[in-house]
Chain A
Amino acid sequence: MALQWSSETFVAELKDLQANAMAVDCLGTQAVLAGKKTLAYVNLENSEEGDDGSNVTRVARQSKWDVNCIQFNPHASHAPLYVTACNTRLDVCQLSDRNGNPVCTLKAHSRIICDVDWSPFDVNVVASCSVDSFTYLWDIREPKKPVHSFQTVAGAYQVKWNKVTNNLFATTHEGDIRIWDPRKGNSPQQYIAAHLSKIHGLDWSPDNQNQFVTASQDGYVKLWDYTNPKKCFGSTDSGAPVRRARYTPFGAGLVTVVVPQLKRGENSLYLWKITKQSDMSPVHTFVGHKDVVLEFQWRKQPEGSRDQQLVTWSRDQSLRIWRIDPNLQRLCGHDGGDSGEVDLTGTSYNSSESTLKDLRDLSLSEPTMEDEMEISVATVTMAQQARSLQQEFSQLNTDIPNITLDQMDPVSRTCRVTGVGGGQKVIMECLFPEAYPNNVSPSFQILTTTLDAAMQSRLLKVLSDTSVKFVRRNNNCLEMCLRQLMSILDSMDDRRSPESEASFTRAPPPIVQATAFNILPMYSLGNFQDSSVPFPRTSGARFSSNGFLVAFGVPAEMKKVSGGAEITPKALSELAAFTQTSWNNTRTNPFSLVFSRSPPTPSSDMSISDFFEKKGRQRSSRHSHSHSLSRRPKRQERYGEKLSSKKQLSVGKVKIYDVEVLVGVNKYLAQHYKMDLDDVEGTCRHNQSAAAAIGRKDLVQTWSIAATMASRKVLPSPVPQMEMPWAMTPCGRPLLKYILDQHGAQFDVQTLAMLCCLFWTPDPPRPRARSQAQVPRSGSKVSLEFTPPNYNPYHTVSSVTGLLKGLRTRHMRMSTFEGGGSQSAYEAEMYDEGHDSAVAKSKRSMSWSDTFDTADDGRSSNGLESQEELEKLQHEDNCKMLDPAVWEQYDRYKLAYAKILYNWRLFNQRALVLKFISTPVPQHKGVEFAVCCHKCGKEMRGPQCSWCKYPALQCSICHIGVRGLANFCLVCGHGGHTVHILEWFKSHSVCPTGCGCNCLKENLFGG
């Protein structure tokens, strides 16, 4: 985007008009704005002088329909003639003496008219199109009926005459375009499927008869040559729906307007350059309108004027004229001929200054608008784009308290300032580089001061931060910097005598200023952009991570202004609408015509507290209140200086609730629970009493069951053949799982994790294959590990083979069960299967059991061994109270509980819980020494062998595993405790093991 600033020379605010349509006549002297109730004629000619209101003439109109579009006759001979489209009717009027005299009415359409266009070649011909699917050509001398009619299947939204050649016009129908020639009957010359969604705007090229541009809801702006309807020759995606795209009268450029609803950001009017390759690149953004631009037109310039002017009408109800100077035109590829020596700052600035003067006069003469004016003046000075330093100096508001400008020299680009305040004095020099203010900030230097060094550096930092912020947007920063200087000096004053505030019993906390001191509000609430900003929350409740609930809200004595009936608005912009309605009513002069060339002026400083009022208060009193509020000179208010009582009234207290009782985890229990794996039963009993102590009967129950389950009497035997492990009985694993599920459903992660830890059976130190690559019998391994939760070991093959082996013993035992007659149906079933079908089942088995059968047959020692081992593994798994298949899940409980313990700062308990995590720790990534365990010879990582749990290094001197600091030789690999090694090498240079390695030398060499 170019570093160019356009300047608007004329702004008229016509608040009451509610106009949707605007037109500028072909001479550039008049503009017409059409609203539902009023038509307004704005004289553009002497717009730059004064604003006594004589520029605007209002004419009431009686209609319940809005004017959809309005257009002046493009022929100078008939310049006062204009046509308006209102519902199904066209009115042609003659503008004379600031009043529109009806000429004729054209009526034929059956539905609303969407667009009208005067023929650029025939002074009497006007085209209109409507959603009734007809496009009519009218001769205003014969207003009875249209001279031509063209029908299409879909409604027409735009009709536009070709600007170069006669007898050619285009209509748009949703995403399609039709090109017509009225001489060739009523079928179109060309069909073009241009866009995926509705086309909002079409404009013919002013210099090529075949070309036109379209703007569409789909966000694309496309360039077309209608002789090639298949493909556009240039397009750009603007990211948001485009309402209008029109060629510039100079060079090769486009101006586009973006559709309101989806518009974000402040700029809605863009200037584009069309390159030779038909690419479009953005050149300029017209900043100023606070709402979407509804209509824009080029204003004809008097002969000899190099500037171009763009007249815009926006939904913010302001009319603006933008001057497009030759520099900007050149950016669009316009060659102004002798444009080389145009001085940008010279002429243009004279005019802008005069406007500014007008504005000041105005603010003096219009006391009712004082507050608004004040803001305007402030922002004008702030945002005035004085490109020359001299300009900035001359426009500087020198009336800043405690700051005196001693010297301003635009030639040497310096300025000297003296600031006095807070009992301190600063004399500073500012140096402005050549490129300032285009992203180059001035440098500041303190010449003499009474400030201490810390304050000095802080001051300089604040100033440079402030200046950077402004010059980044190519704005001048001197005034803001001076104001910063002032506020810093003032704040030091404050610091010396801190006001005692009632709410703070202690000294006020340090105020941390991150960027700048209290400067003007950069962002004011209630702009149109706020339509996408959600309405602020004024109440809320948030859980903190350790059992507290923080709640805040509006005090009970406050209520919504709107009353409780309707729901709270959605967007912040609605707040603006809401507070302004009551505000406007009290204003005496509703039609404010404001001259200003400033970028967006912040609207009155409203706050969300405006949405609330005290209960029982009368509405009218609120009006006066808010009125006085808005009249207050906001910009001079500083924090702590003057507080709005109303705002403070609506600030409630923040309450912190203790909701631990509801959360389900208990800190007391966490502190008092024990975890002793050597005596699980005792631990459960202990925990049971802890739960009883705080009255958690449900937990008492759980722990007592757990204690019974963990009883020593039911400890599994290490030998698989002995008996069915307790875990496999219904009161073993299934019951525990049920209890866990119950607590899971209640989110009682505390009990879950405790149970998971207590019933966790550590893997004995044996080479258990966790990774599949390890073992030849990997297939079987996997199937063992990932058995379903309801897995019954006596149905699987490995157990069947076990059964085969120990059939006799088992059979005997089961017979005793039968004889006892007390066993459950479950056991009976077990028995049945075990007794009757064990053999058959093993035969029937499809999968790898067959291989085991054959292995059995072969009696190979290898097979036997692995079979036994497998059996043992399986038995160990079966003995576990927690299903190993879902160990990962159980680990997650422990992790979650560990997190909560960390939150409570119960670090010991947390460490205890984490000890039970069976998930391997994430592997260290980085450079590591590969170490072989000296005991089992396996390669390993870390300080401990993962198989035999022996420390990785054995000290070569004391032959004990090293747990602390270690050193070893990189060549022979021997080493040990750092102390021992140090001692050894004090007197020796060879390896203590006697391997012959000259360790000291080797490592020196290697290093």
Chain B
Amino acid sequence: MVSVISSVDTGHEDMIHDAQLDYYGTKLATCSSDRSIKLFDVSSGQQVPIADLRGHEGPVWQLCWAHPMYGSVLASCGYDRKVIIWKETNGSWDKLYEYSNHDSSVNSVCFAPHELGLVLACGSSDGSISVISTTGDGNWDAKKINNAHTIGCNAVSWAPSTSPNALFDQGARQQPAKRFVSGGCDNLVKIWREEDGQWVEDQKLEGHSDWVRDVAWAPSIGLPRNVIATCSQDCRVIIWTNDGTSNHWTSRVLNKFSDVVWHVSWSVTGNILAVSGGDNKVTLWKESVEGQWTCISDVNKGQGQITDQRSSSVEPNYNTRRRLDL
């Protein structure tokens, strides 16, 4: 049963723009228009404040946790054009690195799969995307893709390292795919790949009729396909799929919502997509065995209710059983 296990009163003084649990689901990070980032320990079911990170000079838009193999590392980005990477050492949080090479608000940060090292991509309203990486000795290196999206870049999301990729499958199988997807104000979704140390545009996906607000590359469970979810100001969510061998992406509109869609998020196995937007609602979508997307529940945060349509979520399992009765 879907249940609320914890309800955290953050104590932020202004709107919250992002909330993220860390890798193990023990720490919650929230960021807000009050320019602060707050960290809570939620492992016990209660909220224990850990830290209050101040360093941004404007609203903080988005957060991203790094893989725990790099320690407790959190990246944040905000309106003040900065990306700050925070790190915990011996229980105290401090700034590890600050990147301020963007000319406008930085809207999105995303850590790459840990196999690629401590690598971070960020997209800004100045239209560029930066890929920041560290060698581990305190030196940071940034590669900037200028004019990645005309007007502005709103979201970035990395491909899972094990994602099937036509380029890498032959021969160099071991090399993890280094790709990410971005969405911007030019209504485009673009896939980027690293080639000889340079980031080049791999694909350009056209489908949205207004600003793309978020992109999410689905995690891979080993199936030979790539899936990307994108959402846009045009109130639509589009699922893009690719068979992993060709360069062809097919698009499919998940649903047209009543208000702007701000965010899409995949569950860990990539079977459920959480969609949220300007209507202050969260809906969960699941792909059935037949490949149809259905809404399986409605998290209405306002009332703190969850309208769980259990039957439909369990149904596929019964389907399977029937089908297995040979």
Which residues on A are within 8 Å of B, measured CB to CB?
239, 261-262, 264-265, 501, 503-504, 506, 508-515, 519, 521-523, 525, 529-530, 532-556, 564, 567-568, 570, 572, 607-609, 639, 643-644, 647-648, 650-659, 661-665, 696-698, 701-702, 705, 735, 739, 742-749, 752, 888-897, 900, 903, 905, 919, 922
Question: Is A262 a contact partner of B30 (Cβ separation < 8 A)?
Answer: no
Residues of A within 8 A of B84 (CB): 514
A546:B173 contact, CB within 8 angstroms: no
Q: A567-B260, A742-B324, A903-B268 are in contact. Are A544 and B21 (CB under 8 A)?
A: yes
**Contact with A705, one of B15, B262, B324 (Cβ below 8 angstroms):** B324
Q: Which of B5, B79, B259, B296 contacts A662 (CB 8 A)?
A: B296
* B269 x A525 contact (CB < 8 A): no
By a CB distance below 8 angstroms, the chain B residues around A535 are: 260
A475 shortest CB reach to chain B, Å: 15
Choose from A265, A521, A542, A747 the contact partner of B270 (Cβ within 8 Å): A747
- Compute how far the CA of A521 lies from the CA of B265 in the bound complex, rounded to whole angstroms: 32
Q: Which 8 A-B pairs have the closest CB atoms?
A: A514-B55, A892-B222, A556-B302, A568-B278, A544-B21, A747-B271, A509-B49, A749-B221
B276 touches A746 (CB 8 A): no
User: Residue of A at shortest CB range from B103?
Assistant: A265
Q: Which of B134-142, B147-155, B196-204, B247-255 participates in binding chain A?
A: B147-155
CA distance A652 to B9 in the complex (A): 8
Q: Shortest beta-carbon distance, A932 to chain B, in Å?
A: 25
CA–CA, A747 and B282, complex, Å: 22
**Closest CB-CB distance, A168 to chain B, in whole Å?**
38
**Contact call B14/A607, Cβ cutoff below 8 A:** yes
Interface size on B, residues (CB 8 A): 127
Which B residues from 276 to 317 make CB contacts under 8 A with A? Answer: 276-282, 284, 286-287, 289, 296-297, 299, 301-304, 306, 313, 316-317
CB distance from A289 to the nearest CB of B (A): 17
Interface presence of B185 (CB below 8 A) = yes
Distance in angstroms between the alpha carbons of A739 and B98 in the assembled complex: 50
- The contact sample of 12 A-B pairs, CB cut-off 8 A, is A261-B151, A514-B98, A539-B277, A543-B267, A554-B302, A608-B14, A647-B34, A652-B301, A746-B271, A747-B271, A749-B221, A903-B24
Q: How far apart are the CA atoms of A697 and B316 in the complex, in Å? A: 12
* A656 x B5 contact (CB < 8 A): yes
Q: Which residue numbers of B lie inside 8 Å of A, CB to CB? A: 1-25, 28, 30, 32-34, 36, 38-39, 42, 48-55, 57-59, 61, 79-81, 84, 86, 92-95, 98, 103-105, 107, 125-127, 147, 150-152, 154, 162, 173-174, 185, 210-211, 213, 219-224, 233, 235, 258-260, 262-263, 265-272, 274-282, 284, 286-287, 289, 296-297, 299, 301-304, 306, 313, 316-318, 320-321, 323-326
Q: What is the bound-complex CA distance between A460 and B76, given in angstroms?
A: 26
**CB <8 Å contact, A550 and B39:** no
A509 near B59 with CB under 8 A, answer no
Distance to closest chain A CB from B34 (angstroms) = 8
Inter-chain CA distance A799–B230, complex, in Å, is 51
Across-interface contacts of B287 in A (CB, < 8 A): 747
Our count of residue pairs bridging A and B at CB distance below 8 angstroms stands at 388
Instruction: Assess whether B20 is in contact with A550, with CB atoms less than 8 Å apart.
Output: yes
Interchain CB contact under 8 A, B58 and A522: yes
Chain A residues with CB below 8 A from B80, complex form:
522-523
A contact residues around B286 at 8 Å (CB): 662
Question: Is B42 in contact with A735, judged by CB distance below 8 angstroms?
Answer: no
User: Which A residues are CB-close (under 8 A) to B103?
Assistant: 264-265
Q: Contacts of B48 on A, CB cut-off 8 Å? A: 506
Nearest-Cβ distance from residue B147 to partner chain A, whole angstroms: 8
Contact A609 B15 (CB under 8 A): yes
CA of A892 to CA of B162, assembled, Å: 7
Q: A540-B263, A662-B267 are in contact. Are A746 and B316 (CB under 8 A)?
A: yes
Q: Is A513 a contact partner of B233 (Cβ separation < 8 A)?
A: no
The answer to whether B16 and A701 touch across the interface, beta carbons within 8 angstroms, is no
Q: Which residues of chain A are within 8 angstroms of B210 by Cβ–Cβ distance?
A: 570
Determine which residue in B36, B268, B304 has the highest number of CB atoms from chain A within 10 A of its CB, and name it: B268
A654-B10, A747-B221 known; A533 vs B107 contact (CB < 8 Å)? yes
* Choice from B224, B275, B306, B317 contacting A889 with Cβ under 8 Å: B224
B291 to chain A, nearest CB (A): 8
Smallest Cβ distance from A362 to chain B, in angstroms? 29
Decide: A544 near B15, CB < 8 A? Known: A509-B51, A532-B125, A742-B323: no
- B152 touching A534 by the CB < 8 A rule? yes
Contacts of B1 in A (CB 8 A): 661
Given contacts A265-B104, A537-B17, contact A511 B223 (CB under 8 A): no
Candidates B25, B38, B275; contact of A509 at CB < 8 Å: B38
Q: Which residues of A contact B222 (CB under 8 A)?
A: 749, 752, 889-896
Known contacts A659-B2, A889-B224; is-contact A534 B301 (Cβ 8 Å):
no
Given contacts A514-B54, A545-B268, A658-B2, contact A609 B14 (CB under 8 A): yes
Which residue of A506, A521, A525, A550 contacts B49 across the interface (Cβ within 8 Å)?
A506
Q: How far, in whole Å, are A698 and B316 apart by their CA atoms in the complex?
A: 9
Is B9 in contact with A503, judged by CB distance below 8 angstroms? Answer: yes
B49: chain A residues within 8 A (beta carbon)? 504, 506, 508-509
B33 touches A608 (CB 8 A): yes
Checking B9, B23, B147 against A545 with a beta-carbon cut-off of 8 angstroms, the contacting residue is B23
Q: Are A658 and B9 in contact (CB under 8 A)?
A: no
Whether the pair A653, B7 counts as a contact (CB closer than 8 A) is yes
Q: Is the CB of B269 within 8 A of A553?
A: no
Cβ contact within 8 Å between B303 and A556 = yes
**Which residues of chain A have C-beta atoms less than 8 A from B24's C-beta?**
546, 903, 905
Contact check, A647 vs B14: say whether CB atoms are below 8 A apart. yes
In the docked arrangement, what's the CA distance between A437 and B221, Å?
56
How long is the Cα–Cα vector from A173 to B321 in the complex, in angstroms?
A: 71
Q: Determine if B262 and A513 form an interchain contact, defined as CB atoms under 8 angstroms apart.
A: no
Tell me the nearest residue of chain A to B53, going by C-beta: A512
Chain B residues within an 8 Å CB radius of A543: 265-268, 272, 274
Provide the residues of chain A in CB contact with B55, threshold 8 Å.
Answer: 512-515
Contact of B12 with A651 in the complex, beta carbons under 8 Å: yes
Contacts of A506 in B (CB 8 A): 48-49
- Residue from the list B13, B270, B296 in contact with A639, Cβ < 8 A: B13
Contact A659 B284 (CB under 8 A): yes
Q: Which A residues touch B61, using CB under 8 A?
A: 536-537
